[in-house]
């Protein structure tokens, strides 16, 4: 970064450029558009099904038929992609998460239907086992209850391949197992799926901000009081995040993600500055829930705060943001 040139008052009055809207706009360093937004959605079985999520006011689990209509609106608003997360019934959860790679699974069917209905809309799929495991962890457990790395990666490969074969544009491993990006990339190449992109959840922290999401996908009860500290990152660490991101890039990731979002904007900035790759952040369920609580209590103005929060990601260096506010923000941006 170049040194700041010394400037002195009154020759320099920094408020001059803030005086009018036109000059504020002329010197604005970052822009937020609908093209910066990715909309995370929860899909469930059935038809005509719409379920509210108590801990995420305004967010719903949707059956595929309703999701397609909502996705069409998102596409019309200029949102380039949606990220799919499944709501898996108890009867399909298991110790080994076999449902995760079923060709007739909920996500696989949803991808095919969405690509048929909206071929230009980007479809991102979550590659992780926690919606499918009876214990709520993101992997396969050994006899001591420890999430085994290499055995889990074997299943993640199958899951990612099934998503890609269904037509997913981007597979997004969010599990934080070592070596899974390289293994998935190798299989995609072997199967001729050269253009399936990988968005790696590279710096995913063992955060308390994920609670409402776990309610949404139905894994909170299975996980109970257990945590994911043996594979997700320690919130105290920043240097480690750069190693994680660099390793995923070396293994074949096309894009990387920092998760959660606003509490970790320093990590976003460092990743973008030091590695200069497509960098994304997830404004996670806990961030959404806190904002909504403040909005619903009249403590914060909703529309302006939403746009400010998203602009913060852009200022920190994020190329895009996964946010449950995506559609609302896109409408606001279309009608400033």
Q: What span, in angstroms and rounded, lies between the C-alpha atoms of 41 and 327?
A: 11
Residue with tokens 């396969």: 140
Does residue 92 carry a catalytic annotation?
no
Alpha helices in 167-231 (DSSP H): 180-190, 211-217, 220-223
- Phi, psi values for residue 31, rounded to 5°: -125, 140
Q: What span, in angstroms and rounded, lies between the C-alpha atoms of 298 and 280?
A: 30
Helix, strand, or coil (residue 6):
coil
Q: What span, in angstroms and rounded, lies between the C-alpha atoms of 198 and 189?
A: 12
By the 8 A CB rule, do 199 and 40 touch? no
Catalytic one among 92, 93, 158, 204? 204
Does residue 259 carry a catalytic annotation?
yes
Catalytic one among 259, 272, 314, 327? 259
The strand pair at 60-63 and 140-141 is best described as unpaired
> What's the burial of 125, exposed, middle or buried (CB within 10 Å: 0-12/13-18/19+)?
buried
Q: What span, in angstroms and rounded, lies between the C-alpha atoms of 258 and 249?
A: 14
**Catalytic positions, please?**
204, 259
């Amino acid at each position: 970064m170049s040194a700041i040139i010394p400037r002195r008052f009154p020759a320099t009055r920094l408020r001059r450029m803030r005086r009018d809207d036109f000059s504020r706009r002329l010197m604005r360093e970052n822009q937020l558009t609908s093209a910066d937004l990715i909309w995370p959605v929860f899909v469930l079985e059935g038809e005509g099904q719409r379920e509210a999520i108590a801990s995420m006011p305004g967010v719903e689990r949707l059956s595929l038929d309703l999701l397609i209509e909502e996705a069409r609106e998102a596409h019309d608003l200029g949102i380039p992609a949606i990220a799919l997360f499944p709501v898996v019934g108890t009867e399909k959860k298991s110790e080994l998460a076999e449902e995760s790679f079923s060709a007739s699974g909920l996500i696989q069917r949803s991808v095919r239907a969405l690509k048929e209905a909206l071929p230009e809309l980007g479809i991102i799929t979550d590659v992780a086992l926690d919606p499918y495991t009876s214990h709520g962890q993101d992997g396969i457990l050994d006899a001591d209850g420890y999430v085994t790395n290499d055995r889990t990666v074997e299943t993640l490969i199958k899951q990612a391949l099934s998503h890609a074969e269904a037509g997913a544009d981007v597979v997004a491993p969010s599990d934080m197992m070592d070596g899974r990006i390289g293994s998935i990339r190798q299989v995609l190449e072997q199967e001729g799926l050269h253009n399936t992109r990988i968005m790696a959840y590279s710096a995913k922290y063992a955060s308390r901000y994920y609670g409402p999401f776990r309610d949404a996908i139905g894994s909170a009860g299975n996980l109970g009081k257990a945590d994911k500290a043996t594979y997700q990152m320690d919130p105290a660490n920043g240097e480690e995040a750069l190693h994680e991101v660099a390793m995923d890039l070396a293994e074949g990731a096309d894009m990387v993600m920092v998760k959660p979002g606003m509490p970790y904007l320093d990590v976003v900035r460092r990743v973008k500055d030091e590695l200069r790759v497509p960098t994304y952040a997830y404004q996670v369920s806990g961030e959404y829930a806190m904002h909504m609580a403040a909005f619903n209590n009249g403590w914060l103005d909703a529309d302006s705060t939403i746009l400010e929060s998203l602009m913060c990601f852009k200022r920190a260096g994020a190329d895009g943001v996964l946010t449950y506010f995506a559609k609302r923000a896109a409408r606001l941006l279309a009608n400033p």
